[in-house]
Amino acid sequence: MLNTFRSTVQFRRFSLDPVDWRLRKMVSIEECRKIAKRRLPGGVFDYIDGAAEDERTAGRNVSSFSRIEFKPRVLRDVSTLDTSTTIFGRPASMPLILSPTGYTRIANSQGELAVARAAERAGIPYSLSTMGTRSIEEVAEVSAGEKWFQVYTWRDRGLVQELVERAKASGYTTLWLTVDTAVLGRRERDVRRGFSLPPKIGLDTLFDGAVHPGWTWDFLRNDPIMFANVVGHGDHEDGQNPIDLAAHVGSQFDQALSWHDIDWLRTFWDGPIVLKGIQTVADAKQAVAMGVQGIGLSNHGGRQLDDAPSPIELVEPVRQEIADQATIICDGGVRRGSDIVKAIALGADAVSVGRPYLYALGAAGERGVDHVLEFLRDGFERTMALTGCRSVAEIDRDLVRWRTEPFT
């Protein structure tokens, strides 16, 4: 009787580690988001999760993927799968890049270091933001993996040049130039809370901190969060004092940014440049005419212009227009490995993700990021197997249809 019981009931390995418990529950990015929501103070979660105005664009970035259906092929011997690819001629274990995100340490004190280490373990590029809270050099020290750096064009062009030169000296290979932040989008969750970076400690945050002790302990025990790349640069806000992000962008960002600035960037950067924030076929065409190597189809995770187009809906028309003259990266809305397959099938070379790793970092720290990258890889591989693709090269336009297209 006891033997029968033993052979039919298998107990899960018991763990006293609370991170193990959380990782077990993180069965999808959405579940991971829910755990992050529980663990992070409201203002911090809303800064990460929120988007511009009515947040329609942020929602559609994700839901647009559900408009695409697979046309799976069977009986193709998928016993050996190869998910690897090359991005700008450099190997990646799958067509996934971690997008730059500002203020990453707000989710967990390890911040950018944790994410860069996880990216290296996963064999994919990590992108550090100018608004990062760990410096170019600190990240390079902990990660020998593929690293990209992101710049805005600030009014102080000398500082931008200095940052790019530091990135080059530290072995970063590719530059994102963000082109969709002439002014900051109106993120109403942040406006409502009067949110600043770092969060100001008021009565509401004290209360919020008390009910999120894990985050608060981590925040208080570690070095103050700062814009690590600009610390000590005269009038540049380095994040030591709470800043209002919209005011910061208004004072530092150059609204006169134009196509000429790409030529200027090229005078001191000879690696690939990806324009992050291209949202029309016309601008993609112009970028290629200017010799730009990468088109980052992105609406900044819906954080800038509400009712901007979904990146996944731009992939195919842009690919048709520019043929193979540039690398296309689809940034935004990817929540599953199957979404990566869809983007590649429509013509992207790779996708990039931001919120998924921030949720993971907030939910379970560095192990959370490993977990989410493994989740995306596993989903990518499974979808390849179920659709009959043995390599990234085999993921082609015949594999998908928009649900409005006739089934052929």
| Residues classed as catalytic | 300
Closest CA to 20 of 363, 299, 333, 292: 363
Asked if 102 interacts with ligand GLV (CB under 6 A), we say: yes
C-alpha distances in Å from residue 246, one per residue of 34, 207, 264: 27, 25, 26
Q: How far is the CB of 131 from ligand GLV (least distance, A)?
A: 6
Nearest CB to ligand GLV, comparing residues 303 and 367: 303
Three-state DSSP at 85 gives strand
Nearest CB to ligand GLV, comparing residues 101 and 383: 101
> Are the beta carbons of 153 and 177 closer than 8 angstroms?
yes
Size of the site for ligand GLV (CB under 6 A): 4
Q: How far is the CB of 197 from ligand GLV (least distance, A)?
A: 9
| Interface of this chain with ligand GLV, residues 123 to 142, rule: CB under 6 A | 131
Closest CA to 163 of 226, 230, 231: 230
Nearest CB to ligand GLV, comparing residues 100 and 294: 100
Q: Which helix (DSSP H) or strand (DSSP E) does residue 148 occupy? A: strand 147-151
**339's tokens:** 């979404």
Q: How far is the CB of 60 from ligand GLV (least distance, A)?
A: 17
Q: How far is the CB of 154 from ligand GLV (least distance, A)?
A: 13
Q: How far is the CB of 240 from ligand GLV (least distance, A)?
A: 18
| Interface of this chain with ligand GLV, residues 232 to 271, rule: CB under 6 A | none
The answer for residues whose C-beta is within 8 angstroms of residue 177's C-beta and 6 or more apart is 150, 151, 152, 153, 261, 262, 265, 273, 274, 275, 276
Nearest CB to ligand GLV, comparing residues 103 and 375: 103
Nearest CB to ligand GLV, comparing residues 219 and 227: 227
| Interface of this chain with ligand GLV, residues 286 to 345, rule: CB under 6 A | 300, 303
Nearest CB to ligand GLV, comparing residues 131 and 167: 131
Residue number with the smallest Cβ distance to ligand GLV: 102
The answer for residues whose C-beta is within 8 angstroms of residue 89's C-beta and 6 or more apart is none
Closest CA to 236 of 152, 151, 159, 153: 159
The answer for residues whose C-beta is within 8 angstroms of residue 50's C-beta and 6 or more apart is 187, 188, 189, 190, 303
Q: How far is the CB of 96 from ligand GLV (least distance, A)?
A: 20
> Are the beta carbons of 295 and 316 closer than 8 angstroms?
no
> Are the beta carbons of 104 and 361 closer than 8 angstroms?
yes
Q: How far apart are CA 153 and CA 291, in angstroms?
A: 19
Site of interaction with ligand GLV (CB under 6 A): 102, 131, 300, 303
